[in-house]
Every structure is written in C-alpha cells, then in structure tokens.
Structure 1
Amino acid sequence: MGAHVVPSTIFPKTYVMSAWNHAHTRFEAEVVSLEMEGNLPHDLHGAFYRIQPDTMFPPIFDDDAPINGDGNVCCFYIKDGTVDFKSRYVRTEKYIVERAARRALFGRYRNKYTDDPRVRNVISRTTSNTHVVYHAGKIMTLKEDGPPYEIDASTLETIGFVDYNGTFKAPTHTAHPKADSETRELVGYSYEAKGDATPDICSFTVDRNGYITEEVWFQAPWACMIHDFWATKNWVVFPINGLKASEELMISGGEHFYWDETLDYQLLGVVPRRGAKPEDVRWFKTGQGCYSHTINGFEDQDGKLVLDANVWTDLHFPFFPNSKGEKFTTDRTKTRAPILRYRFDPKGNTDVVIHPERVVLDGVYEFGRVDDRQLGKPYERVWTLHVDPTKFSSAESAEQGFNTLLMHNFRTGETQKYFHGDDITFQEPVFVPRHEGAPPEDGYVLVVVDLFRENLTNLLVFEAQDIKSGPITTIKLPLKLLDGLHGSWVDGKDVDAASKVPFRDAWAKH
C-alpha cells in the first residue's frame, strides 16, 4: 500500500480488528449525569479509566496497523449514585506536532524510518494508547514503545513523562505492569530496552513512593513482542513468542514485527523478583503458539509457579507479515485462544518442555481480568471475553467480535456466561471491590458494550459473582466509543490524590 504525498482528509478502508472500529470518532467530550437504568450502588465511589487507539489524522500508509492510533483516554466517574463521563486525547509529542501540522507525520507502527523527516528529532513517538493505571499518586497512560505519560485524574490533562523520580532510564515501558496490593509496589519491565529490535529486557520494581528499587538487565534469545508477563511474590516470568522484531525489515520500510511461522516452540523466561542478576534468568520451552495477555500467576504451597493465560494457537495480529512477507495468512476459522494453566518448578530442569497442566477453557478468549488485589496471589475467578459462534445470527455479525462475557472459577469449575443480545459486543471488563476491605472477588464488574444497531455505547454494571443474571445497572452514553484496549478502576480516595482539585469541582470549572 502506498503513502500519501498530499495529506488526505479521508481515512482508508483497512483492517481494524473489529467491525465496530470502521468509523474514526476523533472527539473529546464531557457528559454530566449520564442516563441510567437499574440500581447503581450508592456507595460506589471511584473512576473507571479506559483508553482507546483513535487515529487523529488519516495515516501516511493506507495499511497502517490498527494498534497505531493516538491514545484517547476516557473516564467514568461514579459518586453518590451518579456517573459523569469525560474523554481527552493524551497530548503525546506525536499528537502535539501532528495537530499543529494538521496531518500525519509519523509513519508505520514503531518504525522511525518511515517518519516524515521533520519529526526525526522528536523524543518519543509513542501514542500512549494501551492502558491506564494508578501508582504512587499518579494516573499514567501506557504503551510499550515509550515511557508513561501522567495525566490529571479529574481534567485528564496531560502533565508529562513519568520517569519515576529520575530512576527510570529505559526507552520503553510495558503497558501491563503488575501492582502488588500488599507491598504497594509496581512490577514492570522494558523490552527492546536498548533500541529497536534489541533483545534486551530490563525488569524493575517501583516502590510505593514512585522510585525504582529493583532492576536487572538481561537479553532474551531473540527480540520479539513481549506484550504482557506474570509477577508473583518471588518471580517474574516473560513469555517469548515468534512475533519477532526486525530492524532490517524496518529500514526497508516494512513493519516492526514479523511472524516466524517456522518456530515450533515458545519460551518462558523466569527471573527472581528481588536481587536478580543477569545470570539468574532461566529459559523454559513451551509449546507452539503466540502468547498475548496473561491472566494471573502465583506460587503454590510447593513453591511451583502457577501461570494462567489465554494463548493463541496462531498469530493474533494478522496485519503483521510472516517470514515470507505475506500478511493476513492466519485462518481465523481455525485459530483459537484457549485459557491454559501451567504449573512447574522455577528451579527445575530447563531441558524439559513445559506443557499446560490443563486446558481450562477451549475456544477463543481474551482480555481476562481478575480482582487486582489478588495479582500475584492465589485466586479463584477470572472475568473474560469470549467468542461464542453459536450466537452469531449472520456472517456480518460474526465479524463483530467478542459477543459473550464469561466468569470462570478455577477452583470449582463453575462457568457463567452472559449474552447481551445480537449485534452487541463487549470490551475488556474490570473488577471493582464492593468496598474498601471487601473479601477477595466480592464486588462488581464494569464492562463497556458496543451497540451496533444504535451506534452507541453503554457501560454495564454486574454483580461480579452473578453475571448470568445480567447487569444491575445500564449507564447510557449518548455517543459511540471505539473499542478500547485496557483500563483500570481507581478508588475515589486515590482519584482525589491524583487530582489538582476535587473531581467535580474541576469539571464545573471546565
């Protein structure tokens, strides 16, 4: 596909992962006191932050990757039984210079060699479009190709880069750090940590005050997309897949990654969480597939690692080429993403291939979330999205995506499903504790739904352990949100701590 010589005002019709995203919304909005149906828990106080890639200008390349959109962060603020909404673009360096030019200036996804010469001195080309998290009094937007940005919790105004008080030196930062609810630490990592297509990884821990206190640098056997990982009490585990980075491909004007379809295994890199040295890293082989998102991991009573994830059986990003340069070679009718559970000794024999202990759920599952207070600890339930092919009424609706919300209990085997109706799909769920100090997994689940017929978006609230009964509250947006990637619930007291002024006071002044 060619590049535009003259800036176009028309977005090309390209692959966007979901039929819902064919339109580009490109707005910032504020709605006070959203319309609701049902009973919203009156004592629920906090904010649900989520972020979506939303390309501001037509891309330079017609076949641009759909994950290359500008980060547009949205907030549902809940207090006293009412809900307010606000959305705002993250003012990244990329966004600022392109808005001034009123056109796209940055080229392909994570490929600086395809950028307009005028922006080659920009410090970071990240779109900061993948996740929103809270740590050490800051709301941060994240994408794995650059440093985090801090935004104000109430106005959503961009404050600037986060460098953990000068202790963060790597050029990239994971979009999926893991918060430890006991130590109040944030465990994270950087990959391609010494530049594009380098195999270097930096594993680090940020303390409750926002300073890096643990750090180890090491190299993976090859450079690849490491989108997510596991962190337990004593270990961090990095999944290494066949979506490999190639500087040669980038220099030639191609994509950042290619899929090595000849690779018949993946790797798990196990690293001590504390006091690690490069020589401590141990590499275990696992079966063929493509790691994407993890669910949770912990250590059992025998010290073995228990790791849960949905693992794709083939490339899940078909817009990246294979080793022959061919795109869209994945057979979507045969590709699955089952939820697998691994259990193995982190000090065991690395010559032994690690196979899943069991297939927990077979089919296509993604965006699994848990009670974040249980990250790195034994837990029971996951809330995840599922493609149920029996629910599609037509070939057109089959292109829509995740049509089922599912809760699974790993201990009892109980599975609950909820289908909201034809031509309706779900975005990533998020768990909300019922109140401070509530028992594990006691609370609510919030999930954004796409209403194809109405071309609108709703936010649904469920009793977390009874999703089969349907939502207890439907919160109606008078507009459409694109499919987001990830988000977080932030308790009201933490929202206040990360705001310049009280939330609704700030909104009243804008």
Structure 2
Amino acid sequence: MVHFPQEGLYQDVLRLVRMEGDIADIEIDGEIPAEMDGAFYRVHPDPQFAPRKPGDQFFNGDGMVTMFRFKDGRVSMKQRYAKTDKWKLENEAGRALFGSYRNPRTDDPSVIGQHRGTANTNVLVFGDDLIAMKEDSPCLTMDKLTLETDGYTDWSGQLTLRTFGAHPKIDPETGNLCNISYAADGDLSRDATYFEITPDGEVVRFVRFEVPYYTMLHDFGIAGDYIVIPVSPYSSDPTVLEQDRPHFYYDRSLSAWMGVMRRDGDGSDMRWFEQREALCSCHVMNAYQEGTKVHLDTPMSKIGSLPFFPDKDGAPFDPELAMTELARFTVDVTSNEDKVESVTPLGKAPGEFPRIDDRMAGKPYRHGWMITYDLAKPYNGPPGPFAGVINTLTHFDVVSGEEQSWWCGPDGSIQEPCFIPRSKDAPEGDGWLVALVDDHVRNYSDLCIFDALDVANGPIARAKLPIRLRQGLHGNWAAADLLEAA
C-alpha cells in the first residue's frame, strides 16, 4: 500500500500523476495549424514510490516524459517513465531505495555506488535518440518514437563523465550539441567540463576547468566564439550531507560570477568576472558576442529564487526579493579588470523559464518569451510551491523593449513555453509557441498553441487533456524530419 507524506510536495498544485499511457487523438478547441508537423517533448518529476523519509525535494522525482505529436491538424500523446537504473532497481524492489536529493549517504545499502539519476530535467531529440537529462548523472537515451528507454550512454566511450548538464545548446551553424558537466569528480567538487558532440555522435571538443566554488551549475550559454557560464551563490559543504539537510544553500557572502572561455581553446583562457552583489540566475535566455564584449541575458533575482534551498545564514525566504527579472550581464574580454562591466534590465515583467527561437542560440537576437507573474490578477486555486503563481505568458522584444502578455485566468498557471518555427527558413520569431496551461481548480491541463509574435491574443488552439500534468521542468520541439527512424 502506497502512502506519500501529507506534504505540499504531493498535494494540490503538485499532485502526482504516476501514469503511463497513450491518447491517439486529443480533443481540440480551435484549429491546429496544418503546417505544424513534429513533436513537443517535455518532462516532469513524478516519483514512482513514496520517499524513504519526509521532506524530499521536488527535483528528486523520477522523470516522466511526455510526447505530443502534431500532424495534419491533430495531436496525439504518449507518456512514459524514463526508466533509469534507479527506476529499474526500485521497480524491482517495489519501494524507494535511493534517499535524499544528491545525498548517497541516505541510500539503502543495496544500491550504494549505483547511478542515482532520475532523468527528470530536460529532454531533446539529438541524432537518433531522445536524450533525457539531469545534471547530477549521465545522459539517458530513449527511443524518440516509442519512448522506451535504452539506457545511459557514454558516446561509445568518448564521454565517461559521471555527470551531464541538463541545458545543452544546439549550435545552429554546426548542429553540434554543446554542453557542460560539473562535479563529475565527486560530491561537492569544483571540476567542470565543456564539450561538443556532432550529430553523428563524435565528441569533438572536451575542455576541463574549475568553478570559483562548488555550486549548482544549472545552465550556460554559447556566444559566438565563447561559452558563458553564470555562477550564483548556491553552494554546499560536507556538513550538509552529514546532517541530511537540503543539498544547496544560498550564501549571500559569496559573489556571483560570469565565466567566459573560448569554445575552441584548452581552457587556459577561462576568465571569471565578478559581480560582488550576490545576484541569482538559474536559467539563460541567450548569450552573444559583440566585438570584444560578451552579453548574457538571464532572469535574475536579488536573493536565491528557490524556496526549498534555504539561506545559509537562516534568513527567511522573501518572495519579493526572490522574483526574477530579465537582465543583461556584459563583460569585455579585453578588460584588465575581472569585473562584470554592467547589469542592464531588459524587461519589466518578473518571470522565469526563458525561451528563444533556438535558431538564434549564441547570436544577436530580438525575440524571447517567459512565463511571468502578474501579481495584480486574482487567483482561485490552492497555494503554489514558488514565490507566486506564474499566470502569464510574455513576449519580450529585447531590441525595442516592448512587452506583450496573455493572462491565463484566475484558476491556474502556465508551464514553460517552447518555440516552433513556421519553417526552417522563416524569419526569427515567425512561428508558434506551445505551453501547458494548468487548471488548478478543475485539475485539467490544456496544451495551448499561440502565435509567437501575438501572444496577447491568447491561444489559437487548445489540445484538451483528460488529466492535469504535474509541473514540468523543460522540453523541446523536434521537427518531422528529426523523427524519422534511424
């Protein structure tokens, strides 16, 4: 008999799904554009079994992958667990064997030394596979059509790292998967690696470097000739593992940093530019190079934005200071000072989960999207897990500074959007957005389709799901040509 703790992590807004299945033809309101031909993949944490102890982390749930296939104005759905080594061992045992988030000391003795990954953070079609990622473990491969799990990959022995970043970028010029890895040498280690993999599976770049302190190196950007890595004052120490406290804490005494390194170098040119104010950045919208200057666009908050990772000094969580707002960090790689040159606000609406037209990754760009907070709007549902209810979808024109938004209504919230180009050669931003809109009152989700440059007019169509999907993390679109069987 399964009994999950009576905690907010498993109730109301975060009620579990734990269901695999298929829907051949989802009910549609409106009209799906006939040109939309491909699949939207996304993933959410969804624990298979109740945790070994109360107080678990949202980020510790098993990965549940959803595929929405668009074709001929119709949408089908397929959902499967990412069957990691952890999932298989626990499924066989019929109970949880792995303990607290990133703390192997809390595991059952029978699984010591096994991969603890849950593959719950991001999914992306690359080469012949769907890859499912979580940054504290290797990369899992799944069948991109059936969602059946193949297993962890090391790219034929070329990439034997024990960790694999969850926010890879696809270089629009080469098609290479660009990514980082951190803490591959062991728990709390400062090592990091940058690597690139060709669409044929060849590792063509592999560079090691160190971060200023152990941290959650969750996202990064490519910027022309460079990679750009934001470091926020999330850290940890051995006492955290010994006392089984939340793995990360926010240390306001630490500086924030912006690392810049050439992609074609050996790592010796890595420079860390300091931002003394302990600003927090978890996700990257985009980065690009402008002469000797490198820009990084990211939602930024004045304190840690994740309430489940407490302040080191015990300061109470402040929802207002934790709100993230889009800003541009700029450094000059020829500067004699290792300081961030400027931090410039780019938008007014606070929000998170930034997305761009991925064909512009690493390039000067104009259009970006985030889900944002409109705190003036009413909300009828139960309390959410974060600083507020992310109830609005906002388009940011980072050139003109204009913003336009659509509010989802008083009963729910919006999950991360994903951009879909109208065609491979369509102008930047010409296409659609897809995003799950959750009804917290009636417990349903709609997969909504928007005109990407006219989000204020609301969805042009909705695929109406018979359930509400749990809050997801990240996902990506794969055009029809990428879905062809290998």
Q: In which range does the TM-score fall when normalised by the shorter chain?
A: over 0.9
Does 2:179 match 1:188?
Answer: yes
Q: Quick one: distance in 1 between partners of 2:7 and 2:422?
A: 42
| Aligned-pair CA distance for 1:261 | 2.8
**Which residue is 2:322 aligned to?**
335
Does 2:395 match 1:407?
Answer: yes
Match of 1:476 among 461, 464, 473: 464
Query: Runs of 5+ in structure 1 lacking a partner?
Result: 1-7, 499-510
- Structure 1 range deviating more: 413-422 or 242-251: 242-251
Q: Quick one: distance in 1 between partners of 2:41 and 2:233?
A: 32
When the two structures are superposed, what TM-score results if normalisation uses the length of structure 2? 0.95
| Aligned-pair CA distance for 1:333 | 3.5
Contact 1:153–1:496, Cα closer than 8 Å, also in 2: no
| Aligned-pair CA distance for 1:16 | 3.3
Q: Check 1:137–1:417 CA distance in 2 against 1; reply closer, same or farther (3 A cut).
A: same
Match of 1:369 among 328, 347, 355: 355
**Which residue is 1:432 aligned to?**
420
CA RMSD of aligned residues (A): 1.8
Q: Check 1:149–1:352 CA distance in 2 against 1; reply closer, same or farther (3 A cut).
A: closer
Q: Check 1:317–1:14 CA distance in 2 against 1; reply closer, same or farther (3 A cut).
A: farther
Q: Quick one: distance in 2 between partners of 1:489 and 1:246?
A: 38
Query: Per-residue displacement from partner, 1:435-482 (whole Å, max 9, x unpaired)?
Result: 232222110000101011220110000111111111111111111210
Query: Per-residue displacement from partner, 1:236-295 (whole Å, max 9, x unpaired)?
Result: 1111221113233213333332221332x2011111111223x21111012322120010
**Which residue is 2:270 aligned to?**
281
Does 2:39 match 1:47?
Answer: yes
Q: Check 1:452–1:321 CA distance in 2 against 1; reply closer, same or farther (3 A cut).
A: closer
**Which residue is 2:306 aligned to?**
317
**Which residue is 2:87 aligned to?**
95
Q: Quick one: distance in 1 between partners of 2:426 and 2:249?
A: 45
Paired amino acid for 2:111: V
Match of 1:347 among 334, 347, 354: 334
Contact 2:12–2:440, Cα closer than 8 Å, also in 1: no
Paired amino acid for 2:173: E
Query: Per-residue displacement from partner, 1:43-85 (whole Å, max 9, x unpaired)?
Result: 2110000000001111112101111100000000011111100
Q: Check 1:336–1:496 CA distance in 2 against 1; reply closer, same or farther (3 A cut).
A: same
Contact 1:130–1:142, Cα closer than 8 Å, also in 2: yes
Q: Check 1:60–1:350 CA distance in 2 against 1; reply closer, same or farther (3 A cut).
A: farther
Q: Check 1:159–1:83 CA distance in 2 against 1; reply closer, same or farther (3 A cut).
A: same
Contact 2:253–2:278, Cα closer than 8 Å, also in 1: no
Paired amino acid for 1:246: D
Q: What secondary structure does 1:42 align onto?
A: coil
| Aligned-pair CA distance for 1:397 | 6.0
Q: Quick one: distance in 1 between partners of 2:448 and 2:219?
A: 26
| Aligned-pair CA distance for 1:398 | 7.0
Q: What secondary structure does 2:319 align onto?
A: coil
Contact 1:383–1:405, Cα closer than 8 Å, also in 2: yes
Contact 1:244–1:257, Cα closer than 8 Å, also in 2: yes
Q: Quick one: distance in 2 between partners of 1:148 and 1:54?
A: 18
Q: Quick one: distance in 1 between partners of 2:339 and 2:296?
A: 17
Q: What secondary structure does 2:346 align onto?
A: strand
Match of 1:64 among 39, 56, 65: 56
Q: Quick one: distance in 2 between partners of 1:398 and 1:78?
A: 30
**Which residue is 2:262 aligned to?**
272
| Aligned-pair CA distance for 1:187 | 0.8
Q: Check 1:452–1:254 CA distance in 2 against 1; reply closer, same or farther (3 A cut).
A: closer
**Which residue is 1:491 aligned to?**
479
Q: Quick one: distance in 1 between partners of 2:30 and 2:466?
A: 17
| Aligned-pair CA distance for 1:394 | 5.8
**Which residue is 1:173 aligned to?**
164
Aligned residues: 483
Q: Quick one: distance in 2 between partners of 1:85 and 1:389?
A: 33
**Which residue is 1:20 aligned to?**
13
Q: Quick one: distance in 1 between partners of 2:307 and 2:75?
A: 38
**Which residue is 2:23 aligned to?**
31
Pairwise mapping of residues 216-235 of structure 1 onto structure 2 (< 5 A)?
216-235=207-226
Contact 2:285–2:354, Cα closer than 8 Å, also in 1: yes
Contact 1:20–1:450, Cα closer than 8 Å, also in 2: no
Q: Check 1:119–1:437 CA distance in 2 against 1; reply closer, same or farther (3 A cut).
A: same
**Which residue is 1:463 aligned to?**
451
Contact 1:310–1:337, Cα closer than 8 Å, also in 2: yes
**Which residue is 2:132 aligned to?**
141
Paired amino acid for 2:36: L
Contact 1:374–1:440, Cα closer than 8 Å, also in 2: yes
Match of 2:3 among 10, 20, 23: 10
Contact 2:422–2:431, Cα closer than 8 Å, also in 1: yes
